[in-house]
Every structure is written in structure tokens, then in C-alpha cells.
């Protein structure tokens, strides 16, 4: 055992932490008691649960609206005739 204690991974948020030699395992990131989480997970082990872990970096994708997309596609070209007329004068 190192001077920081044993290394653990939180059952709630997945953060890794050391127990610092304490008997109560409480996650420093989310504050969950690991013993209580383990008991709850054992009691719900027979039930089907789909718990997805959301990343802090995950952002929902934005859909482009058809109106903006259509506006970009229909750009009018610059009038070439007026430029040629200015050069001739």
C-alpha cells in the first residue's frame, strides 16, 4: 500500500481516486459513497438497465436548416459586363 492508500474507480462517475487510508470510500469528484453504490448495483443486477455514460466533451450535432443551405447554393455571380464596360472607358 502506498502512502496515498489503495487506488479505486468510482462506480458512479468512473473517476479514479486513492482512498488515503480511509475506511469509507467516498468519491472526491461526485461525492458518492462507493459501498452504497455497490449494494445498489448488486440489488439491481437482475434487472436490465441501460445506463449510458455521457462525456463532458460530447455535444449534440447541429442540423443545418434547409433554408440556410439553399441560400448558400443560390449565390448570384458578380456581373461581369459592368466590369468590362468600366475598363473600356
Average pLDDT over residues 52-57: 59
Q: Read off the pLDDT of residues 59-79 as tens digits, 9 standing for 90 and up.
A: 666 666 666 555 556 566 666
Under a CB-based contact definition with an 8 Å cutoff, are residues 71 and 46 in contact?
Answer: no
Q: Read off the pLDDT of residues 3-13 as tens digits, 9 standing for 90 and up.
A: 899 999 999 99
For 70, half-sphere exposure in the C-beta direction (CA atoms, 13 angstrom radius) is 3
Provide the pLDDT for residue 41. 83
> Which residue segment(s) compose the domain that 26 sits in?
7-43
- Least confident among 6-10, 16-20, 81-85: 81-85
Provide the pLDDT for residue 2. 74
Report field, pTM of the whole predicted structure over 0.85: no
| Burial environment of residue 73 by CB neighbours within 10 A (0 to 12, 13 to 18, 19 or more) | exposed
Q: Is residue 32 part of a domain?
A: yes
Q: Tell me how many domains the chain contains.
A: 1
Look up residue 77 and give its three cell numbers: 455571380
| Burial environment of residue 27 by CB neighbours within 10 A (0 to 12, 13 to 18, 19 or more) | buried
The mean pLDDT of the chain is 75
Q: Is residue 61 part of a domain?
A: no
Amino acid at each position: 500500500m502506498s502512502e496515498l492508500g489503495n487506488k479505486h474507480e468510482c462506480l458512479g462517475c468512473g473517476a479514479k481516486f486513492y482512498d488515503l487510508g480511509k475506511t469509507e470510500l467516498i468519491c472526491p469528484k461526485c461525492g458518492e459513497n462507493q459501498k452504497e453504490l455497490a449494494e445498489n448495483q448488486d440489488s439491481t443486477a437482475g434487472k436490465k438497465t441501460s445506463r449510458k455514460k455521457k462525456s463532458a466533451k460530447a455535444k449534440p450535432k447541429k442540423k443545418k436548416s434547409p433554408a440556410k443551405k439553399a441560400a448558400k447554393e443560390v449565390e448570384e455571380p458578380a456581373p461581369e459586363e459592368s466590369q468590362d464596360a468600366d475598363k473600356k472607358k
